[in-house]
Structure 1
Amino acid sequence: MASATANRWLRPEVLKSIPTFATVGVAVGICAAPTLKVTKDNRAAEVLGNFEEGEKYSQHAVRKFVRNRSPQIMPSINKFFSDPNIPN
């Protein structure tokens, strides 16, 4: 029913151009969005150009918690299966 209503009020040429207008509209919206700084030099000062706030943002509690830990999910199980000196 929606297509019958659209065909009644709009010409077929207009209906065929709607996806093009939508695509161009999305592209313009993406281009108008604010840019992000993703370089390593600017990551600490990312939040509003404020270095202290950016440092707080980039060095959050989870990162501080895992900073000096082993990068393994289950280190005790990995050690059990990989270390030949542990008795069974």
Structure 2
Amino acid sequence: MALNPSRWSQHWIRPEIVPLFAAVATGMGLAGFMVARHVTLNPDVRINKEDREAGILDNQNEGKTYKDHGLRSYLRERRPEIMPAINDAFSKLT
């Protein structure tokens, strides 16, 4: 009892399910990005056998560059506000 393609799409693809698919796809994309980032850039993750045999490494510089990535260094120079223009506008009212 196989469904033909047109009946399958009528049964499973509905407009009310699109937000659910979007939310799940976004979550899976973010999770995949974080896994790829940690596996490729984290200095504590060692995939090669030679790197694993080295044991505990003294790599504070690599850890600092991993922790202080581009977004964090960009936000460090900014004021910690969500909407600075609105905050400035309302602070000048007094």
TM-score range, shorter chain: 0.3 to 0.5
Q: Which has the higher contact order (CA 8 A, sep 6+)?
A: 2
Q: Counting helix residues as a fraction of each chain, which structure ranks higher?
A: 2
